Amino acid sequence: ALSPPPPFLVFLPPPPPPLPPPPAMSVYEKTFTLKDEDHTMGNAVRYMLNKNPQVSLCGYSVPHPMETSVNVRVQTSGEVTATAAMRDALLDIISVCDHVNDTFDAAVSAHAAKLPAPMEADKK
């Protein structure tokens, strides 16, 4: 015969039911994994995705500080797929980086044009 349970177990509530499985993701909600990236890229992608009015939810996480990957979760309103929204965000980041690079190069050239010409003794 079984012995009675210890007194402290008698007052415990029954365990909660198990969680239901997560719903299957559609083309309008996806989680993308960016390998060999960190918070720098994750935050830039999140920012660009949140600027898109068709994106209803976006966030990123780094699974572990020692891992070099970023998980980006994207959910759209249904007018555009999550993959298309991610592609547009990445293309926007490329455009911004190109603009920053061009602006920097122009500023360096403008500054170099203001400098006096090097003297003959400085050339040696």
- 94 close to 102: Cβ distance less than 8 angstroms: no
Rounded to 10 deg, the angle between the 39-51 and 82-114 helix axes is 110
Q: Which residues contact 69 (CB under 8 A, 6 or more apart)?
A: 33, 34, 35, 36, 37, 62, 63
| Domains in the chain: boundaries | 25-111
Residue 27, Ramachandran bin (φ over 0: left; ψ between -120 and 50: alpha; else beta): alpha
- CB neighbours of residue 36 within 10 Å: 8
CATH dotted code for 25-111: 3.30.1360.10
pLDDT of residue 13: 73
Q: What's the average pLDDT block by block, 10 residues per block, for the chain (124 residues)?
A: 71 78 83 95 98 97 93 96 98 98 97 84 58
pLDDT of residue 47: 98
Candidates 79, 43, 38; CA nearest to 58 is 43
